[in-house]
Amino acid sequence: MGERNEDLILRVEGLCKRYGETVVLDHLNIAVRRGEKIVLIGPSGTGKSTLLRCIDLIEPVNEGLVFLDGQLVNATENQNCYKQKKLRHTTDARKKMGMVFQHFNLFPHMTVLKNLMEGPVKVLGLPKKSVRNKAIELLRQIGVEDKQNAYPSELSGGQQQRVAIMRAIAMDPILMLFDEVTSALDPQLVQSVLDLMKDLGNRGMTMLIVTHELGFAKDIADRVAFVDEGTVIEDGSPSRIFTEPSHERTKHFLKSLLERSAATGTNEPNQISTDHKKEG
- DSSP code per residue over 123-158: IS---HHHHHHHHHHHHHHTT-GGGTTS-GGGS-HH
**Residue spans per domain, the chain:** 5-109+160-264
Q: Which fold has domain 5-109+160-264?
A: Rossmann fold (3.40.50)
Q: In what order do the strands lie in the sheet with 63-68?
A: 22-33, 8-19, 63-68, 71-72
Q: Residue 237 in contact with residue 224, Cβ under 8 Å?
A: yes
Cα–Cα dist 103/139, whole Å: 19
Residues contacting residue 142 through CB under 8 Å, at least 6 positions apart: 159, 162, 163, 165, 166, 196
Please tell me whether residue 116 adopts helix, strand or coil conformation: helix
b/e 136-167 (16+ beta carbons within 10 angstroms → b): eebbeebebeebbeebbeebbbbbbbbbbbbb
What single DSSP character describes residue 191? H
Using DSSP's 3-state secondary structure scheme, residue 276 falls into coil
3-state secondary structure of 75: strand
Q: What is the pLDDT of residues 123-163, one digit of tens each?
A: 999 999 999 999 999 999 999 999 999 999 999 999 999 99
pLDDT band at 278 (very low <50, low <70, confident <90, very high): very low
Taking a C-beta distance cutoff of 8 angstroms, is the pair 136, 205 a contact? no
Of residues 72, 78, 20, 16, the one with CA closest to residue 47: 16
pTM of the model: 0.88
Q: Write the pLDDT tens digit of every residue in 234-258.
A: 999 999 999 999 999 999 999 887 7
The pLDDT tens digits for 59-88 are 999 999 999 999 999 999 887 788 999 888
Using the predicted structure, report yes or no on whether residue 103 has a pLDDT greater than 70: yes
Say if CB 210 and CB 179 are below 8 A apart: yes
Helix axes 157-169, 128-141, angle to 10 degrees: 140
